[in-house]
Amino acid sequence: MMIMRLNTFPRRAAVAMLVTATVGMAACSKSGPKCSDPAVTATVKKLVAEQLQQNYGLSVIYDVKNSEYDLRSIRTSRSEPTRCACQAELVLRLKLSAEVKAGLEQKAANAGTQQIQDTMLRERDQKIDLQYRAEQTDDGSDTYITIEPFQ
């Protein structure tokens, strides 16, 4: 589990496969966190980028930091006064790293290879079903965001 405290300086500790972060409650409503709260969704996107960069080795081919992440069709599957379970469609638009892009932009030796290179240069949206939770601490000062591992 990666724990990141956003209302102070970031600190990380790897413990398990879930990824967790905290968000100050100023951005959340008094009744507890909501799946579509801007602070919650921004933290989910940040955690997705970090998980992709650290756990999936995509940073060799893609510029994961500068890629685009969007949450669509956000749904609340369970809601309690201090926590909610959420689902969303995660849309990734991964950008190729500068080195890979430069290599693919060079003229290929034959038409078949050129077609593969051209296909790889096109940015495409990748859609993933994402599950996450937002839980408020007992004193209401923080909200913990946990994203489930995805493939």
Q: What is the pLDDT, as a whole number, of residue 20?
A: 53
Q: What is the pLDDT, as a whole number, of residue 6?
A: 32
Domain parsing of the chain, residue ranges: 2-147
Q: What is the pLDDT, as a whole number, of residue 106?
A: 75
Residue pLDDT, tens place only, 114-134:
777 677 667 677 888 999 999
Q: What is the pLDDT, as a whole number, of residue 30?
A: 57
Q: What is the pLDDT, as a whole number, of residue 8?
A: 27
What pTM value is reported for the model? 0.69
Strands 125-136, 142-147: pairing is: antiparallel
Tokens of 11: 């600190």
pLDDT of the chain, 151 residues: tens digit per residue: 333 333 322 223 222 234 455 554 434 445 788 999 999 999 999 998 888 877 666 777 788 888 888 999 999 999 888 899 999 999 988 888 888 778 777 777 777 777 776 776 676 778 889 999 999 988 888 889 999 887 6
Cβ–Cβ contacts within 10 Å for residue 91, how many?
A: 16
Answer for the pair 48, 147: CB distance below 8 angstroms, yes or no. Answer: yes
Q: What is the pLDDT, as a whole number, of residue 67?
A: 85
Answer for the pair 64, 53: CB distance below 8 angstroms, yes or no. Answer: yes
Q: What is the pLDDT, as a whole number, of residue 151?
A: 62
- Distance between CA atoms of residues 2 and 21, nearest Å: 7
Output the CA torsion sign for 15, 21, 24, 28. Answer: negative
Q: What is the pLDDT, as a whole number, of residue 10?
A: 28
Q: What is the pLDDT, as a whole number, of residue 76?
A: 94
